């Protein structure tokens, strides 16, 4: 099981406060982090089953907590 990083905790806090927010909102709430740090952490959290990404329109994704946490085997 992967451990949650400090960046992961921060991203999860934003997503938990504003479920369905777009990736840009997560960026605004984590302004001291780089785009790459946030993007890579959202990608990792998605792969680990903590968040779900949804394509809203071309180039715009919403992020929400996953309904069910799926832990990799």
Residue pLDDT, tens place only, 27-72 = 999 999 999 999 999 999 999 999 999 998 898 899 999 986 556 5
Q: Is residue 73 part of a domain?
A: no
When divided into structural domains, the chain yields a total of 1
In Å, how far are 8, 44, 46 from 49, measured between CA atoms?
12, 9, 5
Contact, 64 vs 55, CB < 8 A?
no
Q: Is residue 13 part of a domain?
A: yes
The domain that holds 13 is classified in CATH as 1.10.10.10
Q: Residue 27: which domain range?
A: 6-65
pTM of the model: 0.82
């Amino acid at each position: 099981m992967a451990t949650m990083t400090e960046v992961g905790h921060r991203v999860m806090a934003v997503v938990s406060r504003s479920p369905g927010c777009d990736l840009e909102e997560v960026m605004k709430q984590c302004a001291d982090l780089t785009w790459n740090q946030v993007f890579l952490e959202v990608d990792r959290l998605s792969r680990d089953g903590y968040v779900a990404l949804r394509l809203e329109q071309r180039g715009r994704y919403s992020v929400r907590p996953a309904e069910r946490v799926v832990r990799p085997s």
